[in-house]
Amino acid sequence: MAERKPFLIRVDRDVLDAVQRWANDDLRSLNAQIEFLLRRALQAAGRLKPAAGQGPRRGGRGAGPPAE
């Protein structure tokens, strides 16, 4: 497992509340939800490669275009 480093961040209250609600909906902790969103944004921007053996997760759309 990768090393985890504590990190403090200041976030607008409305943004934090929205992420907390989303985390609750996805049955994740707030910390896990923030890490999930950061990883997804980094991968979408081509700045982080997906972890080895990690395919689309539950509800994922995959990498390709939708089937016709």
The CA-CA-CA angle for residues 37, 16, 55, to 5°, reads 15
Residue, of 16 and 4, whose pLDDT is higher: 16
Residue, of 24 and 3, whose pLDDT is higher: 24
Give per-residue pLDDT as tens, 18-51: 999 999 999 999 999 999 999 999 999 999 987 7
Over the chain, what is the mean pLDDT? 84
Residue, of 4 and 26, whose pLDDT is higher: 26
Q: What is the pTM of this model?
A: 0.69
Euclidean distance between the first and the last CA atom of the chain, given in angstroms as a whole number:
39
